Structure 1
Amino acid sequence: MRSQLLGGILFFICFSPFLAKSLSPSLNDDVLGLIVFKADVQDPDGKLASWNEEDDSPCNNWVGVKCNPRSNRVSDLVLDGFGLSGKLGRGLLQLQFLRKLSLSKNNLTGSVTLSFAQLSDLRVLDLSENSFSGSIPSDFFTQCGSLRSISLARNKFSGPIPESLASCSALVSLNFSGNQLSGSLPLGLWALSGLRLNNLRAISLRNNRLSGEVPDGIGNCLLLRSIDLSGNSFSGRLPSTIQKLSLCNNLVLGKNGFEGDLSEWIGEMRSLESLDLSENGLSGRIPDSLGKLQSLKVLNVSKNALNGSLPESMSNCTNLLSFDISHNSLTGNLPSWIFELGLEQVLFSGNGLTGGIGNAFGSSKENSQKKVLILDVSQNKLSGEIPSSLGDFGNLQSLNMARNSFVGSIPAEIGWLKSLSVLDLSENRINGSIPSDIGSLASLNELRLEKNLLEGYIPLSIGNCAALTSLSLAHNEIAGPIPASLAKLNHLQTVDFSFNKLTGPLPKQLANLVSLRVFNISHNQLQGDLPAGAFFNTIDPSSVTGNPSLCGSAVNTTCPTVLPKPIVLNPNDTTPGGGTTTPTTLQSRFGGGKKILSISALIAIGAAASIVVGVIAITVLNLRVRGGDRDRRHPDAALTFSGGGDFSRSPSTDGESGKLVMFSGDPEFSTGTHALLNKDCELGRGGFGAVYRTMLGDGRPVAIKKLTVSSLVKSQDDFEREVKKLSKARHENLVALDGYYWTPSLQLLIYEFVSGGNLYKHLHEESSGRCLSWNERYNIVLGAARGLAHLHRTNIIHYNLKSSNILIDEGSGEIKVADYGLARLLPMLDRYVLSSKIQSALGYMAPEFACKTVKITEKCDVYGFGILVLEVLTGKRPVEYMEDDVVVLSDMVRGAVEEGRVEECVDSRMLGKFPVEEAIPVMKLGLICTSQVPSNRPDMDEVVNILEMIRRCPSQSSQDDELVPDF
Structure 2
Amino acid sequence: MVVTLFAVLFIVPVVLGSLDPGFNDDVLGLIVFKAGLQDPESKLISWNEDDNNPCNWAGVKCDRQTNRVSELLLDNFSLSGRIGRGLLRLQFLRILSLSKNNFTGTINPSLARIASLRVIDLSENNLSGPIPDEFFRQCGSLIVVSLAGNKLSGQIPDTLSLCKTLRGVNFSSNQLSGQLPDGIWSLYGLRSLDLSNNFLEGEIPEGIGSLYSLRAINLGKNKFSGRIPDSIGSCLLLRLLDLSENLFSGGLPESMQRLRMCNYLSLRGNLLTGEVPAWIWGMRNLGTLDLSANVFSGQIPNSIGNLLLLKELNLSSNQFGGSLPESMTKCTNLVAMDVSHNLLTGNLPAWIFSLGLQTISLAGNKLNGSVEYSPLTSLQFLNMSRNSLIGSIPESIGELKTLHVLDLSNNQLNGSIPFEIRGAVLLKELKLEKNFLTGKIPTQIEKCKSLTSLILSQNHLTGPIPAAIANLTSIENVDLSFNNLSGSLPKELTNLSHLLSFNISHNNIQGELPSGGFFNTISPSSVSGNPSLCGSVVNRSCPSVHPKPIVLNPDSSSNSSNAGSFPSNRRHKIILSISALIAIGAAIFIAVGVLAITILNIHARSSMSHAAASPILSGGDDFSHSPTNDAQYGKLVMFSGDADFVAGAHALLNKDCELGRGGFGAVYRTILRDGRSVAIKKLTVSSLIKSQEDFEREVKNLGKIRHHNLVALEGYYWTSSLQLLIYEYISSGSLYKHLHEVPGKSCLSWRERFNIVLGTAKGLAHLHQLNIIHYNLKSTNILIDSGGEPKVGDFALARLLPMLDRYVLSSKIQSALGYMAPEFACRTVKITEKCDVYGFGVLVLEVVTGRRPVEYMEDDVVVLCDMVRGALDEGKVEECVDRRLQGEFPADEAIPVIKLGLICASQVPSNRPDMGEVVNILELIQCPSEGQALE
| TM-score with structure 2 setting the length | 0.56
- 1:180 corresponds, among 175, 181, 196, to 175
2:263 paired with 1:273: yes
The match for 2:129 is: 134
The alignment partner of 2:156 has SS state of: coil
Deviation for aligned residue 1:19: 6.6
- 1:312 corresponds, among 289, 302, 308, to 302
Contact 1:337–1:363 under 8 Å retained in 2: no
- Alignment map for 1:707-856 (pairs within 5 Å): none
Contact 1:391–1:417 under 8 Å retained in 2: no
- 1:69 corresponds, among 55, 64, 67, to 64
Partner Cα distance (1:40, 1:363) in 2: 60
The match for 1:362 is: 351
The match for 1:56 is: 52
Deviation for aligned residue 1:336: 1.9
The alignment partner of 1:466 has SS state of: coil
Give the counterpart letter for 2:33 in structure 1: F
2:417 paired with 1:469: no
The match for 2:286 is: 296
2:348 paired with 1:377: no
Partner Cα distance (1:347, 1:563) in 2: 61
Deviation for aligned residue 1:469: 1.1
The match for 2:382 is: 399
Note closer, same or farther for the CA distance 1:17–1:120 as it changes in structure 2 (3 Å cut).
Answer: closer
Gaps of 5+ in 1: 1-5, 566-967
Note the alpha carbon deviations across 1:487-508, whole angstroms, 9 max, x for none: 2211111111111111122223
Partner Cα distance (1:338, 1:319) in 2: 12
The match for 1:221 is: 211
The alignment partner of 1:140 has SS state of: helix
Deviation for aligned residue 1:124: 0.5
Partner Cα distance (1:103, 1:248) in 2: 29
Partner Cα distance (1:144, 1:434) in 2: 67
Partner Cα distance (1:155, 1:276) in 2: 24
Deviation for aligned residue 1:118: 3.2
- Alignment map for 1:199-278 (pairs within 5 Å): 199-278=189-268
- 2:42 corresponds, among 46, 57, 64, to 46
Partner Cα distance (1:207, 1:46) in 2: 34
Worse-matched range after superposition: 30-39 or 533-542:
533-542
Contact 1:130–1:155 under 8 Å retained in 2: yes
Note the alpha carbon deviations across 1:670-725, whole angstroms, 9 max, x for none: xxxxxxxxxxxxxxxxxxxxxxxxxxxxxxxxxxxxxxxxxxxxxxxxxxxxxxxx
The alignment partner of 1:275 has SS state of: strand
The alignment partner of 1:392 has SS state of: coil
The match for 1:894 is: none
Partner Cα distance (1:209, 1:409) in 2: 49
- 1:325 corresponds, among 292, 304, 315, to 315
Contact 1:11–1:36 under 8 Å retained in 2: no
CA RMSD of aligned residues (A): 2.2
- Alignment map for 1:367-766 (pairs within 5 Å): 368=355, 370=356, 372-386=357-371, 388=372, 390-562=373-545
Partner Cα distance (1:98, 1:134) in 2: 26
2:110 paired with 1:115: yes
Note the alpha carbon deviations across 1:88-132, whole angstroms, 9 max, x for none: 211111111111111111111111233235311100011111111
Deviation for aligned residue 1:186: 1.5
- 1:147 corresponds, among 127, 142, 149, to 142
The alignment partner of 1:150 has SS state of: strand
| Identity score, percent | 51
Deviation for aligned residue 1:267: 2.3
Contact 2:329–2:351 under 8 Å retained in 1: no
The match for 1:950 is: none
Contact 1:497–1:522 under 8 Å retained in 2: yes
The alignment partner of 1:471 has SS state of: strand
Give the counterpart letter for 1:71 in structure 2: T
Partner Cα distance (1:226, 1:118) in 2: 27
Note closer, same or farther for the CA distance 1:362–1:166 as it changes in structure 2 (3 Å cut).
Answer: closer
Deviation for aligned residue 1:10: 4.1
The alignment partner of 2:509 has SS state of: strand
Partner Cα distance (1:125, 1:564) in 2: 84
Partner Cα distance (2:480, 2:464) in 1: 11
Deviation for aligned residue 1:352: 0.9
Give the counterpart letter for 1:498 in structure 2: S
Contact 2:117–2:140 under 8 Å retained in 1: no
Give the counterpart letter for 1:548 in structure 2: P
Give the counterpart letter for 2:415 in structure 1: G
Give the counterpart letter for 1:152 in structure 2: L
The alignment partner of 1:427 has SS state of: coil
Give the counterpart letter for 2:412 in structure 1: R
Gaps of 5+ in 2: 549-935
The alignment partner of 2:61 has SS state of: strand
Partner Cα distance (2:320, 2:173) in 1: 33
Give the counterpart letter for 1:484 in structure 2: A
Note closer, same or farther for the CA distance 1:512–1:391 as it changes in structure 2 (3 Å cut).
Answer: farther
Give the counterpart letter for 1:513 in structure 2: L
Worse-matched range after superposition: 238-247 or 547-556:
547-556
Deviation for aligned residue 1:7: 9.8
Note the alpha carbon deviations across 1:451-480, whole angstroms, 9 max, x for none: 111112112221221111111111111111
Contact 2:218–2:243 under 8 Å retained in 1: yes
Deviation for aligned residue 1:26: 4.5
- Alignment map for 1:276-287 (pairs within 5 Å): 276-287=266-277
- 1:353 corresponds, among 325, 341, 344, to 344
Deviation for aligned residue 1:533: 2.9
Partner Cα distance (1:399, 1:563) in 2: 53
Note the alpha carbon deviations across 1:415-461, whole angstroms, 9 max, x for none: 22111111111111112221222222111111111111111211222
Partner Cα distance (1:442, 1:87) in 2: 50
Give the counterpart letter for 2:351 in structure 1: G
Note the alpha carbon deviations across 1:585-628, whole angstroms, 9 max, x for none: xxxxxxxxxxxxxxxxxxxxxxxxxxxxxxxxxxxxxxxxxxxx
The alignment partner of 1:110 has SS state of: coil
Note closer, same or farther for the CA distance 1:362–1:255 as it changes in structure 2 (3 Å cut).
Answer: closer
Partner Cα distance (2:168, 2:221) in 1: 19
Give the counterpart letter for 1:154 in structure 2: G
Give the counterpart letter for 1:380 in structure 2: N
Note closer, same or farther for the CA distance 1:119–1:18 as it changes in structure 2 (3 Å cut).
Answer: closer
Contact 1:408–1:430 under 8 Å retained in 2: yes
Deviation for aligned residue 1:12: 4.4
Partner Cα distance (2:52, 2:191) in 1: 40
Partner Cα distance (1:167, 1:485) in 2: 69
Deviation for aligned residue 1:165: 1.2
| TM-score with structure 1 setting the length | 0.54
Note closer, same or farther for the CA distance 1:43–1:531 as it changes in structure 2 (3 Å cut).
Answer: same
Partner Cα distance (2:511, 2:413) in 1: 31
Contact 1:270–1:293 under 8 Å retained in 2: yes
Contact 1:265–1:289 under 8 Å retained in 2: no
Deviation for aligned residue 1:150: 0.3
Deviation for aligned residue 1:208: 1.1
Partner Cα distance (2:463, 2:499) in 1: 22
Give the counterpart letter for 1:264 in structure 2: E
The alignment partner of 1:46 has SS state of: coil
